[in-house]
Amino acid sequence: MKYVSTRGGDTPKSFCEVVLEGLCRDGGLSMPESIPQISKETLTKWRNLTSYSELALEVASLYATDIPREDLQKLVENAYNTQNFGVESIISERSIGENIKVLGLSEGPTFAFKDMAMQFLGQLFPYVLEKMDRTLNIVGATSGDTGSSAIHAMKGKPRINVVMLSPHNRMSAFQTAQMYSVQDKNIYNIAVEGVFDDCQDLVKALNNDIAFKEKFNLGAVNSINFARILAQIIYYFKGYFMTATSNDEVIDVVIPSGNFGNIFAGIMARQMGLPIRKLILATNENNVLDEFFKTGVYKPRASKDVHLTSSPSMDIAKASNFERFIYLIAGSEATKALWEQIDTQGYFDLTKGELWADRAEWNIESGESSHQNRIETIQRIYKESNELIDPHTADGVFVGSHYLDGTTQVCLETAKPIKFYETIKQAVNDAPFDLAEVEKIEALPQKKEVMANDAALLRQFIESALN
């Protein structure tokens, strides 16, 4: 399996090469040259596998073809086990209503679905670096959960440094503490005076500076890294097997979405042959993606127009992985042209072409949720099913409620509710939280560098810290 750029201007590369690369040299994102097709017989075989790591091996081996199977088996076994995740099945599922289920993806060390990918990358990066005799300086951006998941997966790992950018004073107290309290020497936290999109733009600016990127061995841990998408494809298959009674059943999946990575993994899984009918995208007040699927116009917003919400991990107005979706439906030439339109006029409009006329084939629905919607949804679900859900998952459940028609609807959980206990308490005042562990983490000393939104300052920091 070789990987190409969504913009068509890079040479094909192996899986291990794109794992370390981040952005392609032409500014695009890596995509496999073809999407593996899964037969009904293979789907039956996969359903009968007993452990999550066995399924992970089968799915990953289709994409990581340059890693020997026995090595890949060790990587997934070291990532997906009860030491790293709180349940033997790695993920869980629970019912919150008739034909409505929540897929629990937050059993990992930082209580967020990002652990599902980061624990795999935490094994994959050192393996590839050792194999290639290289070091890697990961420069990442986070709206809250990616950062802590990456840091806890990479801390103390050989050949790796992590420079994680996060928006200053725009995360929950628990998210902030999880990240900034890590004291390992290979971890550097930078609080950028701006929003997540500013952090993401800084990462892209450094990646697009090819000379700087190569001099300092820069890599990415955000979902621009295809290995993140691969790891997320795996739990779509496992989630289907857990929530559908047979492979003849179709399900709908609801995905709270900010950077479009989580839903894009679902798009890939469905294209591989997983029986998903609709993918339902949920946004908060930062509704750029909902706006596109409703109107055909994709118009990323300026940093000053990003709303600060009670589902902060989705406070994103430039969805990096959306480029991969456009590539799938339009090809590299059109993708490159459309992103040039974004650079010149700030948006693109698909409504005048065949792509928009064919949108029914996408089977993607979307909707927006407000603060009041998520508070009322948290209250309702707790009252009806005695289950707590976090604010981002509540965005998903609220949007999904508009598309219920008797088909099993699976809502992807993004985090454990305790990560956002301040908001949960607004909805359920007597929520049964044991905050002892939270208070213990929040009381730890924190290490971070506050920095203006300035690529030159970030370059100076990296030159000083990593030389």
Amino acid at position 152, single letter: H
Nearest-angstrom CA–CA distance, 371 and 465:
40
> What confidence tens digit (pLDDT) does each residue in 288-313 have?
999 999 999 999 999 999 999 999 99
CATH number of the domain that residue 377 is part of: 3.40.50.1100
Residue 389 three-state SS? coil
Per-residue pLDDT band for 467 (boundaries 50, 70, 90) equals confident
The string of DSSP letters for 27-70 reads S--EEESS-----HHHHHHHHT--SHHHHHHHHHHTT-TTS-HH
User: Looking up tokens 């560098």, which residue turns up?
Assistant: 449
Per-residue pLDDT band for 33 (boundaries 50, 70, 90) equals very high
Query: What pLDDT, on the 0 to 100 scale, is given for residue 224?
Result: 87
Per-residue pLDDT band for 145 (boundaries 50, 70, 90) equals confident
Question: How many domains are contained in the chain?
Answer: 1
* Within a domain: 371: yes
The answer to whether the CB of 101 falls within 8 A of the CB of 412 is no
* Within a domain: 238: yes
Nearest-angstrom CA–CA distance, 396 and 369:
8
102: left (phi over 0), alpha (psi -120 to 50) or beta: beta
Nearest-angstrom CA–CA distance, 329 and 307:
30
Nearest-angstrom CA–CA distance, 388 and 424:
8
Query: What pLDDT, on the 0 to 100 scale, is given for residue 21?
Result: 87
Task: Say if residue 417's pLDDT is above 90.
Answer: yes
> What confidence tens digit (pLDDT) does each residue in 323-332 have?
999 999 999 9
Domain extent at residue 381: 92-111+226-427
Q: Which helix (H) or strand (E) holds 163?
A: strand 160-167
Task: Say if residue 353's pLDDT is above 90.
Answer: no
Query: What pLDDT, on the 0 to 100 scale, is given for residue 263?
Result: 98
The answer to whether the CB of 410 falls within 8 A of the CB of 461 is no
The stretch 68-91 carries a mean pLDDT of 97
The stretch 410-417 carries a mean pLDDT of 97
Q: Is 231 exposed, middle or buried (0-12, 13-18, 19+ CB in 10 A)?
A: buried
CA geometry: angle at 103 spanning 366 and 233, to 5°? 75
Helix, strand and coil in the chain, % to nearest 5: 50, 15, 35
Residues 6+ apart with CB under 8 A from 242: 89, 91, 93, 103
Angle in degrees, 0-180, between the axes of helices 52-61 and 226-243, rounded to the nearest 10: 130
Per-residue pLDDT band for 51 (boundaries 50, 70, 90) equals very high
* Within a domain: 51: no
Nearest-angstrom CA–CA distance, 416 and 282:
18
* Within a domain: 245: yes
* Within a domain: 38: no
The stretch 16-30 carries a mean pLDDT of 93
* Within a domain: 46: no
The answer to whether the CB of 150 falls within 8 A of the CB of 189 is no
Residues 6+ apart with CB under 8 A from 367: 280, 281, 282, 283, 290, 398, 399, 402
Per-residue pLDDT band for 55 (boundaries 50, 70, 90) equals very high
Strand order in the sheet with 364-368: 92-97, 100-104, 409-412, 251-256, 276-283, 364-368
Averaged pLDDT score across all residues of the chain: 96
Amino acid at position 434, single letter: D
Residue 112 three-state SS? strand
Q: What is the pTM of this model?
A: 0.95
> What confidence tens digit (pLDDT) does each residue in 224-247 have?
899 999 999 999 999 999 999 999
Catalytic residues: 114
Residue 159 three-state SS? coil
Residue 122 three-state SS? helix
Per the structure block, which two tokens stand in for 121? 């990358």
Report the sign of the C-alpha dihedral through residues 281, 287, 289, 290, in that order. Answer: positive
* Within a domain: 295: yes
Per-residue pLDDT band for 389 (boundaries 50, 70, 90) equals very high
Per the structure block, which two tokens stand in for 99? 């034909």
Query: What pLDDT, on the 0 to 100 scale, is given for residue 272?
Result: 98
Task: Say if residue 4's pLDDT is above 80.
Answer: yes
Query: What pLDDT, on the 0 to 100 scale, is given for residue 216?
Result: 94
Check residues 434 and 231 and name the one with the higher pLDDT.
231
Query: What pLDDT, on the 0 to 100 scale, is given for residue 22?
Result: 82
Counting residues of the chain whose pLDDT is more than 70, the rounded percentage is 100
The answer to whether the CB of 240 falls within 8 A of the CB of 251 is yes
According to DSSP, the residues that pair with 3 across neighbouring strands are 13, 32
Residues 6+ apart with CB under 8 A from 205: 455
* Within a domain: 120: no
The stretch 245-264 carries a mean pLDDT of 97
Query: What pLDDT, on the 0 to 100 scale, is given for residue 445?
Result: 96
Amino acid at position 210, single letter: I
Could you tell me which of 392, 187, 168, 126 has the C-alpha nearest to residue 282? 392
